[in-house]
Amino acid sequence: MYYHNKDIRLEEIPTPEIGPGELLVKVKASGICGSDVMEWYRIKKAPRVLGHEIAGEVVEVGAGVERYKVGDRVFVSHHVPCNTCRYCLSGHHTVCDTLRSTNFDPGGFAEFIRVPRINVDRGTFVLPDEVSFEEGVFIEPLACVLRGQRLARLMPGQTVFVIGSGISGLLHIALARASGAGRIMASDINEYRLKAAERFGADQSIDAKEVSPAKIREINRGQLVDLTIVCSGTISAYSQALKCVDRGGTVLCFAPLEPGLNFLFSFFDFWNDGITLLPTYGGSPFDIERAIELIRARRLPLREMITHRLPLSETSTGFQLVAEAKESIKVIIEP
């Protein structure tokens, strides 16, 4: 039960009871997302059970459910779109009102979750035999990364600069490398993560304090970059991104800034240089299916990104590891 980042309690609550069209899933692995430790984002709904990157096993099937059976290994999406509103029909599934109001009960940091009818209908996916439970934890974050790079239209040979080398940044690096990107650069304030960036596909890592257009040109054969991906929710990261992207390039806004936190940038340069400023949030069902296939095909080094596997009783420790952002990458809770 989440109260705030330094107050995670192990509490006993009833096992959810399911109704017609629903599933009861025993959680086998649940990843701690960077958004789980964004206290400004989470504290307003506390206390609650967090956790949305889950894989588990179906242990009870509600009346009328035909596509799933007891024993199925599944990934369950916490947010699902309606697929029929004007946003969904135009490909903007992640701004759908239904997607923003759906969830499973109670949350992934629990032994069992109830999967509502709508999530069963369009948000439950059977894991291929080749995909382990802990690899299934990567489906949701990888889908978010896939959507971002899909919208940014990353093409083979393009240069990429990833600002922030936490798990999201590393997934962006690994995916860009697998997609045939040209030179990939990455930055962070943490030496451990800078080394991880190079391990997972970056050609060169840069201390965030040293990032400048001149530094990028020095590394990138005199050029700025085609695509800058911001995975750090800070004004300095966005300022660097706008300065380091080349004419005609794209800044992919992957990490949010806290509401009310605004900054100024040169609109003339943005306009004159033809820069695309592109926000992205979440993943669509299409991206989830692609993520599952990429994981099944072993296209990305996901297992190597797991640094900690903890029992439910040590979830608080996991939150501290992720919040401190020092020597951890992917932290998984195994209820």
| Cis amide leading into 47 (omega within 30) | yes
- With a CB cutoff of 8 Å and minimum separation 6, the contacts of 181 are 154, 156, 157, 158, 159, 160
pLDDT at 175 over 90: yes
Domain presence at residue 291: no
Domain presence at residue 290: no
Domain presence at residue 292: no
Same domain, 98 and 171: no
Q: What percent of the chain has pLDDT over 90?
A: 96
The pLDDT-based confidence of 40 (bands split at 50, 70, 90) is confident
CA distance 86 to 93: 9
Residue 311 CB-half CA count within 13 A: 2
Domain presence at residue 284: no
Phi, psi dihedrals of residue 68, rounded to the nearest 5°: -130, 155
Domain presence at residue 112: yes
Tell me if 185 sits within 8 A of 225, measured CB to CB: yes
Number of domains present in the structure of the chain: 2
User: Torsion over CA of 54, 32, 300 and 215, rounded to 10 degrees?
Assistant: 150
Q: What percent of the chain has pLDDT over 70?
A: 100
Same domain, 228 and 309: no
CA distance 260 to 271: 24
- The pLDDT of 171-189, averaged and rounded, is 98
Measured N-to-C along each axis, helices 285-296 and 139-152 cross at an angle, to the nearest 10 degrees, of: 110
Question: pTM of the prediction?
Answer: 0.96
- The pLDDT of 20-42, averaged and rounded, is 94
CA distance 41 to 44: 7
Q: Please give the residue range of the domain that contains residue 8.
A: 2-138+302-334
